[in-house]
Amino acid sequence: MPVILATAVLLWQAALVGYTFSLAGNAADQAVRAGTVAIAGTRDAACEEAGEKDLPDAWDSTIDCWTDGDLVKAQVDLKVPVLFAGSVNFPFTVPGRSAAVKES
Protein backbone atom coordinates (compact mmCIF):
# COMPACT_ATOMS: atom_id res chain seq x y z
CA MET A 1 0.00 0.00 0.00
CA PRO A 2 2.74 2.58 0.78
CA VAL A 3 4.35 1.94 -2.59
CA ILE A 4 1.05 2.52 -4.37
CA LEU A 5 0.43 5.76 -2.45
CA ALA A 6 3.96 7.02 -3.11
CA THR A 7 3.56 6.23 -6.81
CA ALA A 8 0.23 8.07 -6.92
CA VAL A 9 1.75 11.12 -5.22
CA LEU A 10 4.71 11.17 -7.64
CA LEU A 11 2.41 10.83 -10.66
CA TRP A 12 0.20 13.65 -9.38
CA GLN A 13 3.24 15.88 -8.86
CA ALA A 14 4.47 15.08 -12.36
CA ALA A 15 1.06 16.09 -13.72
CA LEU A 16 1.28 19.42 -11.85
CA VAL A 17 4.73 20.10 -13.32
CA GLY A 18 3.44 19.34 -16.81
CA TYR A 19 0.38 21.51 -16.32
CA THR A 20 2.60 24.35 -15.11
CA PHE A 21 4.67 24.10 -18.30
CA SER A 22 1.46 24.27 -20.32
CA LEU A 23 0.21 27.30 -18.36
CA ALA A 24 3.53 29.15 -18.73
CA GLY A 25 3.69 28.61 -22.49
CA ASN A 26 0.08 29.62 -23.02
CA ALA A 27 0.44 32.74 -20.86
CA ALA A 28 3.54 33.81 -22.81
CA ASP A 29 1.72 33.28 -26.13
CA GLN A 30 -1.32 35.26 -24.96
CA ALA A 31 0.88 38.06 -23.64
CA VAL A 32 2.79 38.43 -26.90
CA ARG A 33 -0.38 38.26 -28.97
CA ALA A 34 -1.84 41.19 -27.01
CA GLY A 35 1.45 43.09 -27.12
CA THR A 36 1.77 42.88 -30.90
CA VAL A 37 -1.51 44.71 -31.54
CA ALA A 38 -1.33 47.24 -28.69
CA ILE A 39 -0.48 50.90 -29.16
CA ALA A 40 3.22 51.61 -28.54
CA GLY A 41 2.74 53.43 -25.21
CA THR A 42 0.51 50.73 -23.72
CA ARG A 43 2.23 47.68 -25.19
CA ASP A 44 3.97 46.38 -22.05
CA ALA A 45 0.92 46.85 -19.82
CA ALA A 46 -1.39 45.14 -22.33
CA CYS A 47 1.09 42.32 -22.69
CA GLU A 48 1.37 41.69 -18.95
CA GLU A 49 -2.39 41.96 -18.41
CA ALA A 50 -3.13 39.41 -21.15
CA GLY A 51 -0.51 37.05 -19.76
CA GLU A 52 -2.10 37.08 -16.31
CA LYS A 53 -5.69 36.84 -17.58
CA ASP A 54 -5.95 33.04 -17.96
CA LEU A 55 -3.57 32.03 -15.17
CA PRO A 56 -5.19 30.43 -12.14
CA ASP A 57 -4.74 32.46 -8.96
CA ALA A 58 -3.06 29.52 -7.23
CA TRP A 59 0.04 29.77 -9.45
CA ASP A 60 2.61 32.43 -8.47
CA SER A 61 3.73 34.20 -11.63
CA THR A 62 6.19 36.75 -12.89
CA ILE A 63 5.49 38.19 -16.33
CA ASP A 64 7.98 40.38 -18.19
CA CYS A 65 7.22 41.96 -21.57
CA TRP A 66 9.52 44.07 -23.70
CA THR A 67 10.21 45.10 -27.26
CA ASP A 68 13.39 44.19 -29.09
CA GLY A 69 13.47 45.99 -32.41
CA ASP A 70 10.40 44.81 -34.33
CA LEU A 71 9.71 41.97 -31.89
CA VAL A 72 7.52 41.87 -28.82
CA LYS A 73 8.88 39.35 -26.34
CA ALA A 74 7.38 37.89 -23.19
CA GLN A 75 8.74 35.69 -20.46
CA VAL A 76 6.45 34.05 -17.93
CA ASP A 77 7.91 32.32 -14.89
CA LEU A 78 5.59 30.16 -12.80
CA LYS A 79 6.34 28.46 -9.51
CA VAL A 80 5.42 24.77 -9.36
CA PRO A 81 3.09 23.94 -6.45
CA VAL A 82 3.80 20.96 -4.22
CA LEU A 83 0.86 18.51 -4.45
CA PHE A 84 -1.92 21.13 -4.33
CA ALA A 85 -2.19 24.42 -6.17
CA GLY A 86 -2.09 27.35 -3.78
CA SER A 87 -0.06 25.50 -1.20
CA VAL A 88 3.71 25.41 -0.81
CA ASN A 89 5.77 25.91 -3.99
CA PHE A 90 9.00 24.32 -5.13
CA PRO A 91 11.96 26.74 -5.07
CA PHE A 92 12.34 26.65 -8.87
CA THR A 93 10.27 28.19 -11.64
CA VAL A 94 9.00 26.94 -14.97
CA PRO A 95 9.70 29.37 -17.83
CA GLY A 96 7.49 30.17 -20.77
CA ARG A 97 8.85 32.37 -23.55
CA SER A 98 7.34 33.76 -26.72
CA ALA A 99 8.04 36.41 -29.35
CA ALA A 100 6.21 37.88 -32.35
CA VAL A 101 6.55 40.76 -34.78
CA LYS A 102 4.77 44.04 -33.89
CA GLU A 103 1.73 44.78 -36.00
CA SER A 104 1.40 48.46 -35.16
Contact (CB, 8 A) for 96 and 32: no
pLDDT over 70 at 100, yes or no: yes
Mean pLDDT over each residue of the chain, to the nearest integer = 85
Please give the C-alpha separations between residue 4 and each of 7, 9, 11, 100, in angstroms, as whole numbers: 5, 9, 11, 45
Supply the pLDDT for residue 76. 92
**Mean of pLDDT values over 81-103:** 80
**Domain boundaries of the chain, sorted by first residue:** 2-101
Task: Give the predicted TM-score (pTM) of the model.
Answer: 0.80
pLDDT tens digits, one per residue of 6-55 = 898 889 888 888 888 999 999 999 999 988 888 878 888 888 888 888 88
45-60 b/e (C-beta count within 10 Å ≥ 16 → b) = ebbbbbbeeebeeebe
